Structures are given as structure tokens and as C-alpha cells.
Amino acid sequence: MSARIIDGKAVAARCRAELKARTEELKGEGITPGLAVILVGEDPASQVYVRNKHKACDELGIHSEQYTLPGNTSREELLSLIAELNGREEIDGILVQLPLPGHLDQKEILSAIDPAKDVDAFHPQNVGRIVIGDYFFAPCTPSGILTLIDSTGVDMTGKECVIIGRSNIVGKPMALLALHRNATVTVCHSKTRNLPEVTRRADILISAVGKAGFVTGEMVKPGAVVIDVGMNRNAAGKLCGDVDFESVSPAPVPGGVGPMTITMLLRSTVLSARNRRKKA
């Protein structure tokens, strides 16, 4: 089956070059965008994500602070750090890397972040704003996916957009963003019946399942835009997405959605700095 391969790395590099210019402009006005990233515990995948975020900030000239807290950090300690970061003028974005250790209440922690610094858009107030289409921040992975789709020149209006996965981080916000782009949206999940029948309708198919080789060629309409959000390890320990690359050829992982997620985080941080500090 022939499908177009989206070069996520190239799209991300173009966006980052634009952001670097905007960052330099802000710096010329005495404003250095600042991001604080909090990692609780030692999840190896999270450690890699956080390191990549920090490195990307460095490359753009964004100030970044990393807080690595032990896995047994108490609710009070974490809330107190968030309160301190909420109060610091030079911090424009606060990100708490998920997943959190089980003893911490994710909803409570995310709700403690100042909505004006919530670059992940996970605070309930920002989630609600996305639902009604009046939002400033949007979650990074779905925003990155929209940018990748835009890079293909495909107009989403009236298109069948099928999303596999209903997480709060990817599937649900992706559905809302696609709806705001006037796509006809279907969200599939583990209880969906006749999944291949549904996915074959898709002009745009987005897979965020977390299972290597889950999406195969017979689930995909010829010519569809396929976006693979999965980050899995196969039996040989190699990093791979949800989509069976041999039979489908979507945006390859790594190099597809991952770099876009980080790029959107940088964009939100720069936008936040402009919004918060150029008001006066």
C-alpha cells in the first residue's frame, strides 16, 4: 500500500528555526522565555523525554530549569514547588512530566499549575477552553500532529479523521482539535467493534495505542494520511510505533511525532512569555 511518509524531523526543524528567531526578538526586548520541567521518580522513558526537552530549550535560547525529585516525594513537597514556580515572573511554562508515581493524585497536581503557565494544557480550565474552542494553550502532541498534517497540504475540512486511543494526553484533545478544523471525527478504543472497518474509512488515521504493529495495511485506506503516535519497543528491543511500517509507511517513529511534541512545547513557552510579559 502506498502512503506518503511525513518527515517529522524536517517539519520540526523548520518550526524550531522560526521559534529561535522569535525567541531572539523577545530577548532583544529583555524577555527570555523560561520553562520549568518537574520529573518525579526514575521512569526511564520520562528521563529521556525530559532530557530532550531541556536540550531543545538550550538550542533555542529558552531558559529551562529541571527539577528531578525522588519517587517518594510527598504531595506537599510537590505542591510547594509548583506554588513557588507559579509565583516566579521569569518562569512562563510549568510542565509536570507524566506519569506521576501512584501515591500522587495527578488531577490535584495538574490543577495546582497556574493556568497561564500550563504549557501542556492539562489544567481543567484549559481543557474546558479547548472543548469550547476558546483556547490559548493546546496539548503538545495533538498540536504537533496538526502541524504535521498541515505540512502535507491536506485540508481537514470534511475529512474523515479516525483516532485510535482515548487518552487525556492524545486521543481526546486530538479529537477536539480535529473537530475545530471541521473534520468528521471518530474516536476508537479497546471496546470498539469492527475496528478495521472503521479505520478503513479514514482519510486521516491517527494511532495512539501503544502496541507495536497494531495498525496493519488492511486497516488503512489507500492514500490516507497516517500518523503514528506510538512509542513502543518490539521483541528485539528496537523503538517502534503502532503502525506496521512494512505494510503502511506512515510518519516513522522515532523522527515523526516525537520531535513535533517538543517543538510545540517550545512554541507554547515562547507564546506564554509574550502573552504574560508583553501585556504592559
Site string for ligand GUN, 44-83 (x = CB under 6 A): ----------------------------------------
Instruction: Please report, as residue ranges, which positions from 172 to 191 form the binding site for ligand GUN (by CB under 6 A).
Output: none
Active site (annotated) includes residue 120: yes
Residue 18: in which H helix or E strand, if any? helix 8-28
Q: Closest CB to ligand GUN among 142 and 250?
A: 142
84 Cβ contact list (under 8 Å, min separation 6): none
d(CA 167, CA 164) in angstroms, rounded, equals: 10
- Applying CB under 6 A, which of residues 23, 64, 73, 97 lies at the interface with ligand GUN? 97
**Total of chain residues touching ligand GUN, rule CB under 6 A:** 9
Give CA–CA dist 242/212, Å, rounded: 4
**What residue type is assigned to position 58 of the chain?**
D
Q: Out of 120, 228, 242, 244, which one is annotated catalytic?
A: 120
**How far from 103 is each of 54, 84, 120, CA to CA, in Å?**
26, 22, 22
Shortest spacing between CB 245 and ligand GUN, in angstroms: 22
Kindly state the smallest distance separating residue 45's Cβ from ligand GUN, in Å.
8
Q: How many whole angstroms separate alpha carbon 46 and alpha carbon 14?
A: 25
Least separation in angstroms between CB 95 and ligand GUN: 5
How many CA atoms lie within 13 Å of 15's alpha carbon, on the beta-carbon side? 25
Which part of the chain contacts ligand GUN (CB under 6 A), choosing from 59-67, 95-103, 126-134, 149-157? 95-103
Annotated catalytic residue 279: no
Does residue 98 bind ligand GUN (CB under 6 A)?
yes
> Are the C-beta atoms of residues 24 and 273 closer than 8 Å to each other?
no
Q: Is 263 in the site for ligand GUN (CB under 6 A)?
A: no
The CB density around residue 262, as the number of other CB atoms within 10 Å, is: 21
User: By CB under 6 A, which span of 59-67, 94-102, 157-165, 172-180 interacts with ligand GUN?
Assistant: 94-102
Where in the sequence numbering do the catalytic residues fall?
53, 97, 120
